[in-house]
Structure 1
Amino acid sequence: MPYATTLICAEDLARHIHDANWVVLDCRHDLANPDAGKTAYDAGHIPGAQFAHLDTDLSDKRPAPDGAFRGRHPLPDRNAFVETLRRWGVNHGSQVIAYDAQGGMFAARLWWMLRWIGHEAVAVLDGGLQAWQAAGQPLSNAPVARPRGNVEPHAPLASTVSAADILANLANPARTVVDARAPDRFRGENETLDPVGGHIPGAKNRFFKDNLAPDGRFKPAAQLRQDFGALIDTPENSIMQCGSGVTACHNLLALEVAGLKGAALYPGSWSEWCADPARPVARGG
């Protein structure tokens, strides 16, 4: 099959699970219990899968060089992330598959990060671990070791914006900002993760879970195009954000599934934005 760049079904993954150049990564996580993902992985994972930790593999929580807070899940340095991929055995031509058990909430972050370093052959397991098990596929708790990979960074297939870019956009609105958090947190209610409730002024809300059908798989491309068409004019003039730059990647994946390419990620997202009291905050719908 041609390499997968957005989603892959459990049946297709099962047909290639033993292919030497396929790398499967388990991204399960719990924001309230950072050890939960590794514990679940150790109890049983897709055979051959390695574990990718949101906090240590997919983030670098150190402050910026000037000491500024960069949000709860800042992106690592691109070259450092490439080194992590090599440790997992990712080669230039590898097909990478990311999965979780949270509807792609964390797997989409890894998908986006592979695109960020210019690796296009990466897909999220549609329906996650639940779909794998529903297809009658086994789990394993065997340790996994792969030869070191040789992947190299290339021109990014994904773009980012900074807090300064967002601030400039407030002064001269040219791009639509879309917030992936739950509607109550967007309104500034029930905020438990960040010290300030609310949203970036002018942002629109698209809860990432609205990208999924009741069975936990992504909605069809046509439905996603219709949904996002009601929010944005063009993806190239759109910025996706959330609480800490994680679930915004779910909206970016949904846009890609819909054929709407070119939206940017604000990695620091609300957690970085609200850390500076000089930045404006909006509340309500």
Structure 2
Amino acid sequence: MTHTQRDAVLISATALNTLLTGQQTVSILAVRSDDTSCPRPYKIAPRIPGAIDTNMAEDFAAPSHPLNGSRPLPEHTQLEQTIRRLGLKRDNPIVVYDHDGNLQAARVWWVLRWAGFKNVRMLDGGFKAWSDLALPISHTPPPIPTPSDESIHIGQMPVMDADATAQLARNGILLDSRIQTNYIGGVTPAGLPRRGHIPGAHSLPAPDNLAENGQFLDQETLRALYISRGVKNAYPVGVYCGAGVSAAHNVAALMMLGITAPMYPGSWSAWISDPARPVATGDMPG
């Protein structure tokens, strides 16, 4: 892993603060979601000055669909309209952050990369890293961005469908980014989706990428973590999760290791839509 690879994915709070004092326009997205990690209401939530709110599920996913999962990739027109409304431009740096170790922001980072925006990074450690340094915080409503006229070119990040995912689990390393209990599976409570994992998948929960301070693990520790799951440069590697959200976190970690990994966007929520697809349980790949 090189610093260049890491710096293409992450930006530190100190570096972002320096960037904001320069002459270049920087777009900052405060990624909100419907879970409890996001302060409410959004408009008066503490934010990095100038940060614009965006809802991950509404802006960077299509509506749930049985065949495509609970967080499908957004349609071209929808995503292009979102990017224009947020005022994003390819020539300007884009920084995304959340209040949850970038577990939500990683999806936004991934979708923007998929749409052809290469100059987009996650704030390492998210909002906590910024506030821990006592850097300026705003409690006023977000600014209204000037709309852009950017066109997008989707498909700039690799994806795989269910068949390719199953094949990768047999012939390479398939990583499951969900928490361990969902991976292990077993008896599923009434009314909830089946639990377990795609046969052959190795468990690597996305939060394992983070140190106690919420920032990504240092270079060598991160490398050792992925090697422990069988990841090697010579092996094909792919990632899935519950709905294509936390998997983006592992894709980002792999990119820092110099590995480009495809994601199964529909992930588990799409996999189990077909009752004929096999499900493994237990703490081993199966």
TM-score, normalised via structure 2 length: 0.87
Mapped to 2, the partners of 1:123 and 1:271 lie a distance apart of: 27
Runs of 4+ in structure 1 off by over 6 angstroms are 190-193
1:6 to 2:22 alignment: no
Describe the superposition over 1:38-73 as per-residue Cα deviations: whole angstroms up to 9, x where unpaired: 62453221111111112110110153xxxx431111
Mapped to 2, the partners of 1:69 and 1:37 lie a distance apart of: 32
More contact order relative to length (CA 8 Å, sep ≥ 6) = 2
Residues 221 and 53 (structure 1), Cα distance of their counterparts in 2 relative to 1, 3 Å cut: same
Alignment of structure 1 residues 48-197 onto 2, 5 Å? 48-63=50-65, 68-140=66-138, 141-154=140-153, 156-169=155-168, 173-188=170-185, 194-197=192-195
Letter of the structure 1 residue corresponding to residue 54 of structure 2: A
Mapped to 1, the partners of 2:87 and 2:40 lie a distance apart of: 19
Mapped to 2, the partners of 1:87 and 1:155 lie a distance apart of: 17
1:27 to 2:31 alignment: yes
Residues 111 and 236 (structure 1), Cα distance of their counterparts in 2 relative to 1, 3 Å cut: farther
Deviates more, 1:157-166 or 1:17-26: 17-26
Mapped to 2, the partners of 1:222 and 1:196 lie a distance apart of: 36
Structure 1: runs of 5 or more not aligned: none
SS in 1 for 2:253: helix
* Correspondence for 2:227: 229
Query: What percentage of residue pairs aligned between the two structures are identical?
Result: 32
Residues 226 and 167 (structure 1), Cα distance of their counterparts in 2 relative to 1, 3 Å cut: closer
- Does the aligned pair in 1 maintain the 2:125–2:216 contact within 8 Å? yes
TM-score, normalised via structure 1 length: 0.87
Mapped to 2, the partners of 1:199 and 1:159 lie a distance apart of: 21
Deviates more, 1:143-152 or 1:52-61: 143-152
SS in 2 for 1:251: helix
Describe the superposition over 1:158-196 as per-residue Cα deviations: whole angstroms up to 9, x where unpaired: 1101113224446xx223210011111110158689510
Structure 2: runs of 5 or more not aligned: none
Mapped to 2, the partners of 1:161 and 1:10 lie a distance apart of: 33
Alignment of structure 1 residues 202-213 onto 2, 5 Å? 202-213=200-211
SS in 1 for 2:142: coil
* Correspondence for 1:240: 239
| Cα root mean square deviation, aligned | 2.5
1:42 to 2:44 alignment: yes
SS in 1 for 2:171: coil
